[in-house]
């Protein structure tokens, strides 16, 4: 879904959109870097110096609530945000923390887990950990 379509849907639901909020949404849709709230803040601040971290957080919460955003939480570390809300897999670099998408057909486990556990399964999250190509290269150079 593009920014215009998301804006249209949210306006129909009565969500107010300022140019700052729109800039946050557009950044999330165009980047594949899974930025933290801080990174989003610095990016939007370049264009809108008056933007506050509070605006970033409440826009992220609003987008998440309406299903347009995925939050990847990592315990103590800052959450990362993904403008692609469809369930997909991620690879995390243990050295630099970079998060990449890995697209493949989702593993069909939900039904099995539901039957075995009695939980109502809404989805699952799977992550791969390793050293990214850039860090591997740097390691060899050192
Ligand atoms: Zn790395
Ligand atoms: Zn992703």
Query: Read out DSSP for 12-44?
Result: HTT----HHHHHHHHHHHH--S--BHHHHHHHH
Q: Kindly give the distance from the C-alpha atom of residue 127 to the centroid of ligand 1, in angstroms, as a whole number.
A: 15
Total number of domains constituting the chain: 2
43 and 76 share one domain? yes
Residue 92 CA to ligand 1 center (angstroms) comes to: 8
Give yes or no: residues 19 and 76 share one domain. Answer: yes
CA distances from 8 to 12, 13, 101 (A): 6, 9, 27
Residues 73 and 97 in one domain: no
- 88 Cα: distance to centroid of ligand 2 (angstroms): 6
The pLDDT value recorded for residue 105 is 85
Q: How far is the CA of 84 from the centre of ligand 2 (A)?
A: 6
- Same domain flag for 23 and 69: yes
The pLDDT of residue 72 is 92
SS3 readout for 78-106: EEEEECCCCCCEEEEECCCCCEEEECCCC
Does 14 share its domain with 24? yes
Of the bound ligands, which one is closest to the alpha carbon of residue 138?
Answer: 1
> Which pLDDT value is given to residue 64?
95
**Which pLDDT score, from 0 to 100, does residue 77 have?**
77
The reply to whether 80 and 98 lie within a common domain is: no
The pLDDT assigned to 125 comes to 82
Q: Give the ligand whose atoms come closest to the C-alpha of residue 99.
A: 2
Question: Which pLDDT tens digits describe the chain residue by residue (142 residues)?
Answer: 889 999 999 999 999 889 999 999 999 999 999 999 999 999 999 999 999 999 999 999 999 999 999 999 887 778 999 999 888 899 999 999 899 999 888 888 889 999 999 999 988 888 899 999 999 999 887 7
Q: What is the pLDDT of residue 78?
A: 86
Q: Which domain holds residue 2?
A: 1-85
CA–centroid distance, 142 to ligand 2, in Å, is 30
Q: How far is CA 120 from the centre of its chain?
A: 24
Any idea of the CA torsion for 86, 87, 91, 95, to the nearest 10 degrees? 80
**What pTM, to 2 d.p., does this model score?**
0.84
Question: 10: CA distance to ligand 1 center in Å?
Answer: 36
Do 97 and 125 have their domain in common? yes
């Amino acid at each position: 879904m593009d920014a215009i379509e998301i804006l249209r849907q949210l306006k129909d639901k009565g969500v107010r959109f300022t140019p700052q909020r729109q800039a946050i949404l557009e950044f999330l849709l165009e980047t594949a870097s899974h930025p933290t709230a801080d990174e989003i803040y610095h990016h939007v601040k370049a264009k809108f110096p008056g933007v506050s971290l509070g605006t970033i957080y409440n826009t992220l919460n609003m987008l998440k609530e309406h299903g347009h955003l995925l939050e990847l939480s990592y315990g103590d570390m800052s959450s990362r945000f993904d403008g692609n809300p469809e369930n997909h897999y991620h690879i995390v670099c243990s050295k630099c923390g970079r998060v990449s998408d890995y697209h493949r057909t989702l593993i069909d486990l939900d039904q099995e887990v539901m039957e075995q556990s009695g939980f109502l399964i809404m989805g699952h999250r799977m992550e791969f950990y390793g050293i990214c190509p850039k860090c591997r290269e740097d390691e060899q150079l050192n």
